[in-house]
A and B are shown apart, each in its own frame.
Chain A
Amino acid sequence: MRAFTYERAPSVEAAAKAAASNPEAKFIAGGTNLLDLMKLEIETPTHLIDVNGLGLDQIEPTQEGGLRIGALVRNTDLAGHGIVRRDYGLLSRALLAGASGQLRNKASTAGNLLQRTRCPYFYDTNQPCNKRQPGSGCSAIGGFTRQHAVIGTSEACIATNPSDMAIAMRALDAVVETVKGDGSHRAIPIADFHRLPGDTPHIETVLEHGEIITAVVLPPPIGGRQLYRKVRDRASYAFALVSIGAVIQPDGTGRIAVGGVAHKPWRVEAAEAELPKGARAAAGILLSDARPTDHNRFKLDLVERTLGAVIAEARG
């Protein structure tokens, strides 16, 4: 871990301004991912701006009938919130499928969206990694890639986004609210928030430097059976090989977002139109451009089979 300076930001605007003026600065919220990465010198900020004291920890209804979730709401609190449990069951289930009780007590909503990949080559600083050192190459390609992405990959990176929560947010059409260094606000649809790796896998979201997430807004509830199915080698405390967040309506229509397969939560609206025909039809479109490796080809079958199980459970 490199030495760093630290400040507690007095306001959102001040935090954004301070960050924007220092290219080596990072925000710290729960720190459950950032501190680990700093210890390994994968992240090397020279300045940390603590945003825990900014009052961004409220969950409140919106005028439109949705829910505004403060950026600092802890995963545990969000998963257990009455309205979330009642109207956005998918989100609650996805959160509880992730990490452990201790981590969820610390991890924040915004931080969860910004957590970085768990690609083992990203974690080993002896190995080339375009995410860690742009231009150094990708050592995962051709290596051990059982966990890696099967779709939306590039020659530069085949890492996945590890978040469970983000899969639910994607299926629920959440909107990410931010404040930039110049004090301006914007609202970013979750679909646009995470990027595919392309030639710049080190740039994982559309956030500008210094831009701070203040809230994640859920649109009014859409009902339906809301399920999150996480498939993994052990029963708990593991990242998804594949996960499916689904909202299935009584008429068989619905939404699905898939985790463990891409650099971002994977959702294809055209595939959802096929849902009433069943998992095979929907998965076929969802993964039509997949480029798996020998190690992770099984994920194609696994998505289809898991989706089948989710649809069956929703109907049951």
Chain B
Amino acid sequence: MQFDTPAATNPIDQLKVVGRPIHRIDGQLKTTGRAMYAYEWHDPNTPYAYGYPVGAAIAKGRIKSIDVSAAKKAPGVLAVVTTLDVGELKKGQFNTAKLFGGDRVQHYHQAIAVVVAQTFEQARAAAALVRVDYVVEKGAFDLEKAKDSAIEPAAKPGEAPPDTAVGDFDAAFASAPVTLDETYTTPDQSHCMMEPHASIAAWNGDKLTVWTSSQMIDWWRSDLATTLGIDKEKLHLMSPFIGGGFGGKLFLRADAVLAAFGAKAAGRPVKVALPRPLMANNTTHRPATIQRIRIGAGRDGRIAAIAHESWSGDLPGGGLETAVNQTRLLYAGAHRMTAMRLATLDLAEGNAMRAPGEAPGLMALEIAIDEIAEKLDMDPVQFRILNDTQVDPENPKRPFSHRNLIGCLEVGAERFGWSQRGRPGARRDGNWLIGLGVAAAFRNNLLIPSGARVRLDREGIVTVETDMTDIGTGSYTIIAQTAAEMLGLPIEKVAVHLGDSHFPVSAGSGGQFGGNCSTAGVYAACVKLREAIAQKLGFNSDDVVFENGEVRSGNRSVRLAEAAGSDGLVGEDTIQWGDLSETHQQSTFGAHFVEVGVDVATGESRIRRMLAVCAAGRILNPITARSQVIGAMTMGVGGALSEELAVDTRSGFFVNHDLAGYEVPVHADIPHQEVIFMDETDPMSSPMKAKGVGELGLCGVSAAIANAIYNATGIRVRHYPITLDKLIGGLPDVA
């Protein structure tokens, strides 16, 4: 199905199943431990072996030799495969750092060997016996120091250019009566999903089956085939349940490659999971940024000039953290410029983490907006409303498909009690300094082709098959809702099978595009199935109605089970996107409100309550959407208050590489969260009229917290995370 005109009224608009608060259909499998995650697949008749990875002990250099003699002699060991054994391997399209193969070390904890044994414990013990001789080379590990050598990277096809400019920023900024010029920093962050990267590989001749934990089945399949040098068609990938991804499982990782080599060497299926300490330095992370923002405004509060520059680092061949994305679109202003520069750093690969670009970009921009509003003596909610734009400010002929940022701000301010906010440092509750903060949320709506196959069987059951993944987001449920709505069935009559490379290629899970795109793909397949049913029955498909398990045309009606016949019927299609996202800017909007308490003595910042108001098109399921948003808000709390991969700039690695050292929020950090969804649809976005929401929930949260801390204390911190050491020098005397 080609989607190139705005959606008209369609069966989804009935909202008998779609849009309803239905609990996730895979929930019981998960709460009873029956949902099989990658490492857990177990056939009692298969003699699995266990692979344990060895990570490089240096950040940059060359491996002279690897001594595996002791490891090979260790109890239970079946095989040891080293990076020298396999030689140089081709790199997958989506990988920056190589995952395995050859003598070069590009980053700390790069996979350099896998030890395969009969038990996990034996493999781990033997892995500790591998001895490696390195030639260490000097690397660059400090973004601040590398910043001046950063370059303007060439624009990648299909991606936004590193620089944009409209009008004359310099002149407008110089003549603006009220200006702001500040620099903000965000640290490297780790996805820290619960389930580590894990794979089981099983060879059958030249065919390879891999159970893994992947957000993007087809990307992995292509990149694993490339890395192993095998035909993609010989590779069967399965990932039906994923214990969190957050972008860390978008791209093929070393666990799958090591499992494949280990299984070949051991002659039997091999399981490999990355140990937690390897996850920070072996996999990808959100790169740190340095961001300079300049805003010039008139005394009337209107932005005249806005500039946002960002510096980030990555390995050679890597990409930018696109932290200026939102600044190109969020606020009005005739004179504007953005620029992004990329430094070479020899840390682990920087890559996508939930809301790449917008998450760190808004961490900076939305503090800057708070600051300029204060300089103007304006309420920051009012300042944002005044500077709203309904068109792409870099290209005013291009409107937004639908934009209700103002509604989010107004509803949120009312519901949250924004009027209680006082001057900085003015409110106190015992030992707590109390502050309120606000930030806008913004994340683009991305459209990716997505396919599905839908079968109707003689029992009247509809089965959906697509390689879409459910990374905890609720894909199973919203896909079932979509098929049920399209075929006039209760949700119990729909079965959903996901995450298998035998199924049609979907959008996958990432960039908050999965929900809207994958259900649109299911919609397209259901249209095909409806046509097949109508055709088989000789119905005129224009007036056919699917309702209550029946298909009806005029005064004829037939049970779906009966219509299917003994062979059943199949519909298969892929949603393809026209140019609606070019003619119209498609984005999602929201407003975050936060109340914090800062301990007047210690500077500890604790969240007291949070509210998110989201305008993200049709909400397909308010329960799973809310879960996405509160999870994202929680991630934003971590980003604001504690999360930082600490870089050892001497030897080049993230030091705090476990969940004790890298502090994500715990339950005690999150007392009260509320989410409001604006009642809206976006017919430009898809036949579902939905948009993404899973990343929107993160965008702006950390800045709202930063602004609340400022309101509580009068201390403006521009360097995340806002830990107590950055506040303590400015707090009132308590002794």
Contacts and interface: CB of A to CB of B under 8 A. Distances in A.
B734 A236 contact: no
A298 B724 contact: yes
A268 interface: no
Interface string A282-316: 00000000000000001001101110110010000
Contact of A126 (B57, B661, B666): B57
Interface string A115-144: 000101101111100000000000100111
B724 A233 contact: yes
A124 B724 contact: no
A308 B655 contact: no
Contact of B646 (A127, A139, A144, A304): A144
B723 interface: yes
Interface in B651-669: 651, 655-658, 660-661, 663, 665-669
B65 interface: no
Nearest to A41: B128
B386 interface: no
Given A144-B646, A302-B602, A305-B602, A233 B668 contact: no
Given A278-B735, A301-B729, A305-B734, A3 B641 contact: no
B229 interface: no
A236 B666 CA distance: 7
19 contacts: A1-B124, A39-B124, A118-B661, A120-B655, A123-B658, A124-B277, A124-B657, A139-B648, A143-B648, A143-B650, A143-B655, A233-B723, A236-B666, A236-B668, A301-B728, A305-B602, A305-B734, A306-B602, A312-B734
A237 interface: yes
B125 interface: yes
Contacts of B641: 233-234
Interface of A: 1-3, 39-41, 118, 120-121, 123-127, 139, 142-144, 146, 231-239, 241, 278-280, 298, 301-302, 304-306, 308-309, 312
B602 A3 contact: no
A304 B121 contact: no
A120 B669 CA distance: 23
A309 B734 CA distance: 7
Contacts of B667: 236
B602 A144 contact: no
Contacts of A312: 734
B642 A233 contact: yes
A312 B430 CA distance: 12
A124 B653 CA distance: 11
B650 A235 contact: no
B735 A280 contact: yes
A256 to B, nearest CB: 14
Contacts of A298: 724-725, 728-729
The 6 nearest A-B residue pairs measured at CB: A309-B601, A298-B725, A126-B57, A235-B668, A236-B668, A144-B646
B550 interface: no
A127 B108 CA distance: 12
A98 B518 CA distance: 45
Contacts of B721: 233
Contact of A241 (B75, B606, B646, B724): B724
A309 B602 contact: yes
Given A1-B124, A1-B125, A279 B75 contact: no
Contacts of B5: none
Contact of A234 (B648, B663, B731): B663
Most chain A beta carbons < 10 A, residue from B431, B724, B728: B724
Given A2-B125, A143-B655, A308-B735, 7 more contacts: A120-B661, A121-B655, A144-B655, A146-B725, A231-B724, A233-B724, A298-B724
B725 A144 contact: no
A246 B410 CA distance: 48
Nearest to B638: A234
Interface residues of B, number: 42
Contacts of B731: 305
A237 B602 contact: no
B604 interface: yes
Given A123-B658, A144-B656, A231 B121 contact: no
Contacts of B647: 144
A241 B723 CA distance: 11
A308 B601 contact: yes
A125 to B, nearest CB: 8
B642 A234 contact: yes
A139 to B, nearest CB: 8
B506 to A, nearest CB: 37
A144 B75 contact: no
A301 B729 CA distance: 8
A139 B57 CA distance: 14
**Could you say which of A2, A41, A139, A298 has the most chain B C-beta atoms within 10 Å of its C-beta?**
A298
B340 to A, nearest CB: 27
B734 A235 contact: no
Nearest to A279: B735
Contacts of A304: 735
B656 A120 contact: yes
B601 A306 contact: yes
A40 B656 CA distance: 15
A235 B637 CA distance: 12
Contacts of A143: 648, 650, 655
A277 to B, nearest CB: 10
Contacts of A1: 121, 124-125
Contact of B734 (A39, A239, A308): A308
B728 A302 contact: yes
Contacts of A123: 277, 658, 661
Contacts of B724: 231, 233, 241, 298, 302
Contacts of A237: 666, 668
Contacts of B735: 278-280, 304-305, 308
Tell me which of B655, B658, B668 has the highest count of chain A C-beta atoms within 10 A of its own C-beta: B655
Interface string B585-615: 0000000000000010111101000000000
Interface in B700-735: 721, 723-725, 728-729, 731, 734-735
Contacts of A301: 728-729
A100 B602 CA distance: 23
A230 to B, nearest CB: 10
A301 B128 CA distance: 42
A280 to B, nearest CB: 5
A231 B648 contact: no
B668 A234 contact: yes
A144 B731 CA distance: 25
A231 B731 CA distance: 16
A234 B124 contact: no
A45 B460 CA distance: 62
A51 B254 CA distance: 41
Q: A125, A127, A231, A234 — which one has the most chain B CB atoms within 10 A of its CB?
A: A234
A104 to B, nearest CB: 15
Nearest to B729: A301
A235 B648 contact: no
Contact of B660 (A118, A241, A306): A118
Given A238-B663, A280-B735, A305-B735, A232 B646 contact: no
Contact of B601 (A41, A126, A127, A305): A305
A237 B655 CA distance: 19
Given A126-B57, A144-B655, A234 B666 contact: yes
A309 B669 contact: no
B666 A235 contact: yes
Nearest to A282: B735
Interface in B108-156: 121, 124-125, 128
A213 B57 CA distance: 38
| Highest count of chain B CB atoms <10 Å: which of A3, A126, A144, A231 | A144
Contacts of A233: 604, 641-642, 663, 721, 723-724
B465 to A, nearest CB: 40
Contacts of B603: 302, 305
Contacts of B728: 298, 301-302, 305
Contacts of A279: 735
